[in-house]
Amino acid sequence: MVGPVTPLAYKAPTEPVGTASPTQTATVWIPNGFTLGSISVVTQGATGLDFNFVSGGTCAVGTAYTAAQTCTVNYTFKPKAPGTRMGAINLYDKTSPTPVLQATTYLDGTGTGPLAGFHPGRQLNLPTPEVSCQSAVAVDAGGDVYVADPCNDIVYKETLSAGSYSQSTVASGSISPRGIAVDGSGNVYIADSQNQQILKESLQRADISNRFSRTL
């Protein structure tokens, strides 16, 4: 087994909002041997947004890879909003029923265009009936909201769908969440002040948006 390494990262071209870039190619470094079961190109854990898979790379489903090999994945960048957009390429194995993430390459790009500002602002309340005290909030590219509740030692995810939110749990237990961040792959990082540590909650697979497993 190869020791932990920093995943590779690639920067996509700057594009106007709604304009797709030419096909880009990114290399994925494989830390441990496995047989490739699926490839997912995501924007903060969600498919079909700013970063999208394009066929033609050398990473091939069904191929057995050994530790320290590399292969390539093609993608396009079509920003949904102005500013920095974060994404990732994830390679999963063939484990059933839940494929395991084996390799990641991070992506980022910049969208350009006007950003509307409304004044005075309009205040809305999210449906968070179980949240006792909010210490931190983060939002991903899909509009999902992550809320830290240190009073109950829980981090909630409020998933946006059809204009309303449904609540699920990202992390719970003997933690005191004081800060949250979401990376391009959809991993959630939690500042746990009670135990003086940073926790990483990783999506078990890209198409199951509310199943997290702890990796740090």
**If you compute the radius of gyration of the chain from its CA atoms, what whole number of angstroms results?**
18
The CATH number corresponding to 136-214 among 2.40.10.500, 3.40.1390.30, 1.10.150.20, 3.30.70.250 equals 2.40.10.500
Q: Is the pLDDT of residue 77 over 80?
A: yes
In eight-state DSSP terms, residue 97 is S
Model confidence at 122, in pLDDT bands (50, 70, 90)? low
* Long-range Cβ pairs for the range 128-136 (8 Å, 24+): 128/156, 128/158, 128/167, 130/154, 130/156, 130/167, 131/156, 135/177, 135/178, 135/179, 136/177, 136/178, 136/179, 136/180, 136/191
Residues of the chain within CATH 2.40.10.500 domain(s) are 136-214
Predicted confidence (pLDDT) at residue 32 exceeds the cutoff of 90: yes
Comparing 72 with 135, the larger pLDDT belongs to: 72
* Mean pLDDT along residues 81-106: 93
Burial label for 110, CB within 10 Å (0-12, 13-18, 19+), is middle
* Cα-based angle 80, 85, 90 (whole degrees, multiple of 5): 105
Percent of the chain whose pLDDT exceeds 70: 83
- Portions of the chain given CATH number 2.60.40.10: 9-112
Provide mean pLDDT across the span 126-136: 69
- Could you tell me the pTM of the whole model? 0.82
Contact 182, 45 (CB under 8 A): yes
Question: pLDDT tens digit string along 7-27?
Answer: 899 999 999 999 999 999 999
**pLDDT given at position 190:** 92
- State yes or no: pLDDT of 129 exceeds 60: no
pLDDT, residue 115, reads 76
- What does the pLDDT average to over 157-163? 81
pLDDT tens track for 191-215: 998 888 888 888 654 443 444 555 4
Residue 172 clears pLDDT 70, i.e. is over it: yes
pLDDT of res. 216: 45
**Is 191:159 a contact under the CB 8 Å cutoff?**
no
Compute the average pLDDT of residues 104-112: 97
CA distance 3 to 44: 25
Split at pLDDT 50, 70, 90, the class of 179 is very high
Please give the class, per CATH, of domain 9-112: mainly beta
